Amino acid sequence: MKDKVTIHTLKRLKQSGQKICMVTAYDATFARILDEGGADVLLVGDSLGMVIQGQESTLPVTMDQMIYHSAAVSRGAKRAHVVGDMPFMSYQVSPQEAVRNAGRLVSEGNVGSVKLEGGAEFADTVRAIVRASIPVMGHLGLTPQSVHKMGGYVVQGRDEDAARRMLDDALALEAAGCYALVLEGVPLELARTITQSLKIPTIGIGAGKHCDGQVLVCYDLLGMNPDFKPKFVKRFANLHGNITEAANTYFAEVRAGTFPDEDHSFKATKGIRLVTPTPVVPDAEGAGEAAEKVGGIYGAPV
């Protein structure tokens, strides 16, 4: 096993000008593949509400669901640092509740840190979680848990006032103890300014090339959903096409009776004589007994 990535590794990557590679994962199989593929950070995103559950937003996702997926991803990740998203309403009510829930993600989900959405208004919450020795990643810009406040998934910080506020939020989160910051749906000029103003690394999604790292939803970069193509998504594969083709071939072979062939079937022990049981017409209640009287499907050894 290669050395595990920690929050200190990520800070060093920023200092040495090397990009941080982050991607979402929701299960152990994807986690293992993406970890071995070189991910520095695996994010168990609350985007799972949309890509796993088929919900229209991330808002219905619960703590128990985040823990379930985090535990699976953590088992698959050998080298990558695993971050768990704090779901909607798990940290907004009070810093106390936030600490309790962040603690559950660590102790039950086995994540190395947690991520929460919001700016200076969550500085106290970040401080409280960090005080409990749980590292916190911030998340600014297009924050999907605020979809109703934003009026949709709209790029944030486009005008000067909003940009200044976001920079202040970024500085407040750094001062509160965040070890890194996701910038989502932010003009690249603003992302550059924030990145240059912080000692902690920024990780962009729809925030341009100047961030210290990048993150994408794994299903997006793998091209699994032909109906979801916002501007920031690049498809590095066409798994939708590959899966469709594989499934179609499988179904065609099943229908043609060419799968399974001998290579994909088991043989009984040599010398076994197989007999087709005499059919018994079972009455409604006696069905179980009748089946027993027929005996096994194997005859006596020859």
Ligand X SMILES: Nc1nc(=O)c2c([nH]1)NC[C@@H]1CN(c3ccc(C(=O)N[C@@H](CCC(=O)O)C(=O)O)cc3)CN21
Ligand Y SMILES: CC(C)C(=O)C(=O)O
Which residue lies nearer to Mg ion by CB, 155 or 193? 155
CA–CA distance, 181 with 138 (Å, rounded to integer): 4
- 161 a known binding residue? no
Q: Taking CB within 5 to 8 Å according to partner kind, which of ligand Y, Mg ion, ligand X, none is near residue 231?
A: ligand X
Q: Taking CB within 5 to 8 Å according to partner kind, which of ligand Y, Mg ion, ligand X, none is near residue 155?
A: ligand X
Taking the complex as a whole, the smallest distance from the CB of residue 63 to Mg ion amounts, in Å, to: 14
Q: Which listed residue (47, 90, 113, 145) binds ligand X by CB under 6 A?
A: 47
Name the catalytic one among 184, 262, 289, 292: 184
3-state DSSP percent of the chain in helix, strand and coil, to 5: 40, 15, 45
- 19 a known binding residue? no
DSSP lists the bridge partners of residue 79 as: none
Residues sharing a CB contact under 8 Å with residue 57, sequence separation 6 or more, in sequence order: 49, 50, 144, 147
Q: Which two tokens stand for residue 198?
A: 């912080």
Cis peptide bond prior to 260, omega within 30° of 0: yes
Q: Could you say which residues in the range 5-44 bind ligand X, by CB under 6 A? A: none
Taking the complex as a whole, the smallest distance from the CB of residue 154 to Mg ion amounts, in Å, to: 16
CA–CA distance, 24 with 139 (Å, rounded to integer): 14
Residue whose C-alpha is closest to residue 203's, from 35, 27, 42:
42
Q: Which listed residue (73, 102, 123, 155) binds ligand X by CB under 6 A?
A: 155
Q: Could you say which residues in the range 84-103 bind ligand X, by CB under 6 A? A: none
Binding mask 224-253 for ligand X (x = CB under 6 A): ----x-xxx---------------------
DSSP lists the bridge partners of residue 184 as: 141, 205
Neighbours of 263 (CB within 10 A): 6
Which residue lies nearer to Mg ion by CB, 48 or 193? 48
Q: Which listed residue (5, 23, 25, 45) binds ligand Y by CB under 6 A?
A: 45
- 64 a known binding residue? no
CA–CA distance, 176 with 60 (Å, rounded to integer): 28
Piece of the chain touching ligand Y by CB under 6 A; list 42-50, 75-83, 159-167, 230-238: 42-50
- 117 a known binding residue? yes
195 is a contact residue toward ligand Y (CB under 6 A):
no
CA distances from 29 to 67, 160, 161 (A): 17, 44, 44
CA–CA distance, 13 with 7 (Å, rounded to integer): 10
* Residue 292 annotated as catalytic: no
- 27 a known binding residue? no
Residues engaged in binding Mg ion (CB under 5 A)? 45-46, 85
Residues engaged in binding ligand X (CB under 6 A)? 47, 50-51, 58, 142, 144, 153-155, 185, 217, 219-220, 228, 230-232
- Cite the active site residues: 184
